[in-house]
Amino acid sequence: MPTPSKTTIHELAASVNQLHLLAFWGQLDAAGRHRLEDQLRSFDWNQIAACQQLAASRQSTTAKAPPLDLSGARTPPCHSLSSGDPAVIKAGREALAAGSVGAILVAGGQGTRLGFDGPKGTFPIGPVSRATLFELLFGSLKAVERRYGRWVPLAIMTSTATDAATREFLNQHQYCGLDPKQVLLFRQGTLPAVDAVNGQLLLDAPDHVAVAPDGHGGMLAALAAAGGLDWFASQGVETVVSFQVDNPLARPLDPEFIGRHRLTAATFSTQIVPKTDPTERVGVVVEQNGITRVVEYSDLPEILAAEQLADGQLRFHAGSIAIHAFDRSFLEQAAANTDSLPLHLAHKKVPFLDADGQLVEPASPNAFKFERFIFDLMPLAERVSVVEVSAAEGFAPLKNPSGAVSDSPETVHQAMVDYARRHLAAAGITVADGIDVELDAATILDDDDLRQFAAAGSLPGNRIDQPQVVRAGEHR
């Protein structure tokens, strides 16, 4: 392999005004020079210019976004995920039985807050089983397949941080029961961080520019580039749902969610959980001038976040839980237009090399990172359908480490146990006080499965006295 000549890479760096990235070129060996040159050549410099422009438009010291104008904005009408509407359920079941629903699992995040050494999907979260998030979520895909007789093609988005470990986990665990042909792994892209003061790119090693994952919105371009949209089309997928790896109660394939999407001829559907505390850090779905979109919690002024309607409900209460459904054709159109998703920036601490080549770990935010958000497709959709689910039934995110007051392994365990106890009770099964139970994701899809489990009569007195994972198949 010839060593890249300084002239060519010098010309490239000079043309984009980033010569400082070659400050340590003279000290790099051939492999290091290749690494740096490959990285610089892989960048989309037009996109980086857009990032730098956005950074320049923000005041570097406060990095505050301009206030949003939300005059006339309101919470859009929301349908219940448990409406019991027979037409809606039928439409959803038919779509699943026709094999026309595909799924994208968003699993590229770095899980910084959780502080777990590995992709979040490999975190053991089952309160009794200790099953990982991947096992639980893939288990529920198996349950859907068993019920409807068709598998759900699954595209899993990883990132540089999670890709290798995710592939290794899937291989070691035989894809958690999924058929490898049912699964497509694709990696989201990265975007360089820029210095908050001068907009320049930063080195975090002599041969490496500091980059960060491009946000869950990176899904659109990365999926298209990996051939994922064609892959869905080739399997007859018309509706694509997306969900996040850190919510074991997620119900992206609920027949009512899919059925509502189909029956309302929506191009974009989204699930929300009613927000009751104004300080909850979730984005809210709002409708303004006929356009529906998500406003991030950081963009919602405190006074508006706390505003109540006459009935005491928060004016902006539709908390987004990042479970969406799209028409595949809508995703195809959006992917064809590189400007579909705007860039967002965040003021963050990014380690960088100083002029002497020493790594500086900044004590306060020094740089901007850039991300795209998938919910920014919402305003482009012709029709948006908003579906409401209670947190107890559909949202228990794992974000924080053990001991945190919210979204921690303990709060997720409790939510899963409470969920199991409630549904067992509805099927006529009592669980003794203080006993942890868990529903096996792969064999118990819904209350129908639980009723059959109860009817099998293998539980003395229909009572559970010991911690247990409730599995349907064993009792049929």
Q: Measured from the CB atom, is 310 or 405 closer to ligand UTP?
A: 405
CA gap 47, 35 in Å, rounded: 21
Question: Phi and psi at residue 390, in whole multiples of 5°?
Answer: -80, 150
Contact residues for ligand UTP (CB under 6 A)?
106-113, 120, 157, 159, 188, 213, 215-216, 244-246, 399
Question: What per-residue string of b and e applies to 53-84 under the rule 16 or more CB within 10 Å gives b?
Answer: ebbeebebeeeeeeeeebeebebbebbebeee
Token output for 466: 């010991």
Residues near 73 by beta carbon (within 8 Å), at least 6 away in sequence: 286, 287, 288, 316
Q: Shortest Cβ distance from residue 222 to ligand UTP (Å)? A: 10
Q: Shortest Cβ distance from residue 212 to ligand UTP (Å)? A: 8
Q: Is the distance from CB of 433 to CB of 402 less than 8 angstroms?
A: no
Residue at 196: amino acid letter = A
Q: Measured from the CB atom, is 106 or 128 closer to ligand UTP?
A: 106
Q: Shortest Cβ distance from residue 421 to ligand UTP (Å)? A: 27
Q: Is the distance from CB of 359 to CB of 206 less than 8 angstroms?
A: no
Residue among 190, 106, 188 nearest 369 (CA): 190
Residue number of the CB closest to ligand UTP reads 109
CA gap 23, 136 in Å, rounded: 48
CA gap 224, 328 in Å, rounded: 11
CA gap 1, 12 in Å, rounded: 20
Q: Is the distance from CB of 292 to CB of 316 less than 8 angstroms?
A: no
Q: Is the distance from CB of 154 to CB of 107 less than 8 angstroms?
A: no
Q: In the 8-state DSSP scheme, what is residue 40?
A: H
Q: Is the distance from CB of 171 to CB of 206 less than 8 angstroms?
A: no
Q: Measured from the CB atom, is 152 or 464 closer to ligand UTP?
A: 152
Q: In the 8-state DSSP scheme, what is residue 298?
A: G
Q: Measured from the CB atom, is 260 or 372 closer to ligand UTP?
A: 372
List residues bridging with 368 in a β-sheet. 194, 347
Q: Shortest Cβ distance from residue 476 to ligand UTP (Å)? A: 34
